Structure 1
């Protein structure tokens, strides 16, 4: 009898589970069909203050379904494949251009956007999106070197080529990004980060291969954690990731090599197949408010494109040249241009060959 009861109980549990799954599925479908107050937000990892999302839901009633990606290419592939309808995502400069060219983005209805007057004009009307037809500036920053001041001085790493010094054997962490790592190598050879010459790329790949003895690991978001924990002396990473690591370890500092680097811009865009566009506009407008943009910048650690938010930041943050570079430094920075499929693949293949040579 006990076995019979247990069997009946097991069946009831299974049925309940199936009902629960069906209910969740039905609710999800209902959201899509009815346009319920939902926002499907696809963003980089740890790239918005969670408290702001809570505040946004309280103010607007929109529930945020939040998913993350770790590269522009991963985000692009997911959206291009379809199947999952995201309402808002955050591509970098060159990827905005690529997605717009391929018809993956919805042109912005400017009548539904507020707070654009809070955006610094320097970040508007960029070459990757003239007149901001598809994008609203979010954060910006640089690629540089995060280093432990107790183990190395700034003048020992003030150009990219100095990373190849034998003194840094197994002491460098690299961000897992083909454009960034090949880009820094090209700069070290006096070339552009947008170089599309076969011989130049081969030379850069050859030089990059010789850096491998100094590379401890090639990682993604966890780079800032490893650096904060003292796992390596140097890390090639983004300014905001560096800021978060520095907040955890006062021995760390960040610099942009004097031979130049990449300046990047991340942007809010609405995918073509978005089902909840009003929700997307609501979050854009929410994030355009200076007080919200300031809170977000302090949490994320990246430089804000919102001039109203910048004015609210503490003086020591606004004056830090590592995160708000001088005009002279900005003049030495390069913005990534969109590659066609052939050159995207060439860079990706070169970087993959470098990684598997470990």
Structure 2
């Protein structure tokens, strides 16, 4: 009897332990199975505090990675190594990804904050009716310059960058579309021109800028200007904004010959595994208060009209950040030129850099 009781007691104890262990394992698995969202964005292109806010609001853990070029981003999504749920490609890349069946259509009903977007920045040629993308930020390519060092120069034309007074004091942003586009615009051509003769002319014309060019640089462009390593730069408006908004010696202009109006939009890649979470994230980023905070942190122009109206007066009314309709008449959005033409742009850009 005693042995029977011991046996029963042992079995009972074993059962209790088994239940406890089972609960612990089950509870631990719940933690491991927390909903996740894989986000792929440009570097320094979102206020990190907002990622934490989204996680707290939704319980969704954000796995955040960055890229430094549209081409690198597209290649990684095309290869499918990581199943990103939200990505942030630029205009012409969206057009290319759409044609390659790399994106899924958005459910606009799951993005009610779309109502805050300015219609002027919607329904762009690269994605009519915003079937596949929602605008995130936009901006221009122009000239940032130190107006204390060059008080008599207004940089109204791209050709002003060839002024002998600027010897070894100009830097170009490291982008084939931007630099070749500068050469094309300087000659009165479209920055989406694919005519080989016109590209020959643009490449030859760019060489006339060489005596003044200190270098072709990437993210360090801002640092070089701040540290007086150069005084003039061809760069994106959003990268220039912290400089001209915080230091009166800097100014930014879009030359009269024209330039680029670019868009970075949010998309959901075909291989996404958390489509519902992706819609929540896109909608979250266009909540007016969230968008205002993000726009102040990133410094690029927001297409969210409600959020823009919440920005400080000196920002929301700054025509260098938010170009007037008159200025926008001189701007073009990049188109997908196709692999062959893009390769030609890249080759000519490389020739230009090697000749400096």
Q: Does 2:148 correspond to 1:150?
A: yes
Partner of 1:264: 262
TM-score normalised according to structure 2 size: 0.88
Partner of 2:76: 78
Out of 327, 345, 348, the position equivalent to 1:347 is: 345
CA RMSD of aligned residues (A): 1.7
Out of 157, 160, 163, the position equivalent to 1:159 is: 157
* 4+ runs deviating over 6 angstroms: none
TM-score normalised according to structure 1 size: 0.88
Shift of residue 347, structure 1, vs aligned partner: 0.4
Out of 101, 107, 132, the position equivalent to 1:109 is: 107
Shift of residue 164, structure 1, vs aligned partner: 1.6
Partner of 2:85: 87
* 1:160-239 equivalence runs, <5 A: 160-239=158-237
SS at match of 1:194: coil
Distance 2:174 2:275 in 1: 32
Partner of 2:6: none
User: Contact (CA 8 Å) 2:47, 2:294: kept in 1 or not?
Assistant: yes
Gaps of 5+ in 1: 1-26
Shift of residue 247, structure 1, vs aligned partner: 4.7
Seen in structure 2, the aligned counterparts of structure 1 residues 248 and 69 have a Cα distance that, compared at 3 Å, is farther
Q: Does 2:132 correspond to 1:97?
A: no
Q: Quick check: 67-76 or 306-315, which moved more?
A: 67-76
Higher Rg of the two aligned structures: 2
Shift of residue 156, structure 1, vs aligned partner: 4.0
SS at match of 1:126: coil
Q: Deviations over 1:205-258 (max 9, x none)?
A: 111122222111211122112212222111111110001233554421211112
Shift of residue 153, structure 1, vs aligned partner: 3.6
Partner of 2:22: none
Gaps of 5+ in 2: 1-27
User: Contact (CA 8 Å) 1:114, 1:288: kept in 2 or not?
Assistant: no
